[in-house]
Structure 1
Amino acid sequence: MPEKATHKVHPAPDWLTSDYVQDKLRIYFRNSSLKLEKLHTKPAVANGGNYGSVMTRINVEYTTKEVKEKQATTFLVKTTFADQDPAGDVLIHYGVYSREMDIYESILPQLADMVRKDLKDPRKLFAATMDVDRKRDSIIFEDMSLDHYKVACRKKKLDLEHTHLVLEKLASFHAAAAVLAERQPGVFANNYDRGFFNKHTRAYGPILTNLLEALSRSLSSDQELGPRYKTKIDKLIERLMDYGERSTTNNPGDFLTVAHGDLWTTNVMFQYDDEGHPTNAIFIDFQFSVWNSPAIDLHYFFTTSLQDDLRFGHQPELVQFYYYKLAEALKKFRYTGRIPSLFDFQLQFRSRGFYAVFCSLVFEPVMQYEGKEEASIEQALSSSESGMRFKDSVYESEAIKKKLSITLPFLDQFGLLDEM
Structure 2
Amino acid sequence: MPEKSTHKVHPPPAWLTSDYVQEKLRTYFKNSSLKLEKLVTSPAIANGGNYGSVMTRINVEYFTKESKDKQATTFLVKTTFADKDPAGDVLIHYGVYTREMDIYEHILPQLADMVKKELKDPRKLFAATMNVDRKRDSIIFEDMSLDNYKVACRRKKLDLEHTHLVLEKLASFHAAASVLAERQPGIFAENYDRGFFNNHTRAYGKIMTNLLEALSRSLSSDRELGPRFKHKIDRLVERIMDYGERTMLSNSGDFLTLAHGDLWTTNFMFQNDAKDHPTNAIFIDFQFSVWNSPAIDLHYFFATSLQDNLRLEHQAELVQFYYYKLVEALKKLKYSGRIPSLFEFQLQFRSRAFYSVFCSLVFEPVMQYEGKEDASLEQILSSSESGMRFKDSVYESEAIKKKLSITLPFLDQFGLLDDM
Return the TM-score normalized by structure 2. Answer: 1.00
Residue segments in structure 2 that go unaligned for 5+ positions in a row: none
Task: After TM superposition, give the deviation of residue 236 of structure 1 in Å.
Answer: 0.5
Q: Aligned letter for 1:329?
A: A
Q: Aligned letter for 2:411?
A: L
Post-superposition Cα deviations, 1:322-360, rounded to whole Å, max 9, x if no partner, equal 000000000000000000000000000000000000000
Alpha-carbon distance in 2 for matches of 1:361, 1:81:
26
Alpha-carbon distance in 1 for matches of 2:188, 2:342:
26
> Which aligned pairs between 1:254-293 and structure 2 lie closer than 5 A?
254-293=254-293
Q: Secondary structure at the match of 1:181?
A: helix
Task: After TM superposition, give the deviation of residue 4 of structure 1 in Å.
Answer: 1.9
Aligned to 1:393: 393
Task: After TM superposition, give the deviation of residue 3 of structure 1 in Å.
Answer: 1.8
1:159 aligned onto 2:129: no
Alpha-carbon distance in 1 for matches of 2:261, 2:393:
26
**% identity of equivalent residues:** 86
Aligned to 2:72: 72
Aligned to 1:136: 136
Q: Secondary structure at the match of 1:2?
A: coil
Q: Secondary structure at the match of 1:348?
A: helix
Alpha-carbon distance in 2 for matches of 1:231, 1:185:
47
| Number of aligned positions between the proteins | 420
Post-superposition Cα deviations, 1:260-319, rounded to whole Å, max 9, x if no partner, equal 000000001000000100000000000000000000000000000000110111000000
Aligned to 1:85: 85
Task: After TM superposition, give the deviation of residue 5 of structure 1 in Å.
Answer: 1.7
Post-superposition Cα deviations, 1:101-130, rounded to whole Å, max 9, x if no partner, equal 000000000000000111000000000000
Task: After TM superposition, give the deviation of residue 252 of structure 1 in Å.
Answer: 1.2
Alpha-carbon distance in 2 for matches of 1:97, 1:77:
13
Alpha-carbon distance in 2 for matches of 1:297, 1:65:
47
Aligned to 1:248: 248
1:216 aligned onto 2:216: yes
Alpha-carbon distance in 2 for matches of 1:150, 1:2:
12
Aligned to 1:13: 13
> Which aligned pairs between 1:21-420 and structure 2 lie closer than 5 A?
21-420=21-420
Aligned structure 1 segments of 4 or more residues deviating by more than 2 angstroms: none
Task: After TM superposition, give the deviation of residue 2 of structure 1 in Å.
Answer: 2.8
Q: Aligned letter for 1:256?
A: L
Alpha-carbon distance in 2 for matches of 1:332, 1:90:
40
The alignment's C-alpha RMSD in Å is 0.4
Return the TM-score normalized by structure 1. Answer: 1.00
Q: Aligned letter for 1:91?
A: L
Alpha-carbon distance in 2 for matches of 1:96, 1:106:
15
Alpha-carbon distance in 1 for matches of 2:116, 2:300:
27
Post-superposition Cα deviations, 1:66-117, rounded to whole Å, max 9, x if no partner, equal 1111100000000000010000000000000000000000000000000011
Alpha-carbon distance in 2 for matches of 1:267, 1:343:
29
Alpha-carbon distance in 2 for matches of 1:134, 1:247:
32
Q: Secondary structure at the match of 1:130?
A: strand
Q: Aligned letter for 2:295?
A: A
Q: Secondary structure at the match of 2:236?
A: helix
Alpha-carbon distance in 2 for matches of 1:109, 1:249:
29
Q: Aligned letter for 1:162?
A: H
Residue segments in structure 1 that go unaligned for 5+ positions in a row: none
Alpha-carbon distance in 2 for matches of 1:17, 1:346:
51
Alpha-carbon distance in 1 for matches of 2:359, 2:8:
21
Alpha-carbon distance in 2 for matches of 1:110, 1:365:
35
Alpha-carbon distance in 2 for matches of 1:230, 1:288:
30
Post-superposition Cα deviations, 1:201-256, rounded to whole Å, max 9, x if no partner, equal 00000001000000000000000000000000000110000000001111111100
Q: Aligned letter for 1:55?
A: M
Post-superposition Cα deviations, 1:31-61, rounded to whole Å, max 9, x if no partner, equal 0000000000000000001100000000000
Task: After TM superposition, give the deviation of residue 320 of structure 1 in Å.
Answer: 0.1
Q: Secondary structure at the match of 1:33?
A: coil
Alpha-carbon distance in 1 for matches of 2:17, 2:120:
40
Alpha-carbon distance in 2 for matches of 1:294, 1:357:
17
Alpha-carbon distance in 1 for matches of 2:396, 2:371:
9
Alpha-carbon distance in 1 for matches of 2:336, 2:97:
32
Alpha-carbon distance in 2 for matches of 1:114, 1:231:
49
Q: Aligned letter for 1:228?
A: R
Q: Secondary structure at the match of 1:170?
A: helix
Alpha-carbon distance in 2 for matches of 1:110, 1:36:
31
Q: Secondary structure at the match of 2:37?
A: strand
Alpha-carbon distance in 1 for matches of 2:389, 2:6:
13
Alpha-carbon distance in 2 for matches of 1:360, 1:210:
15
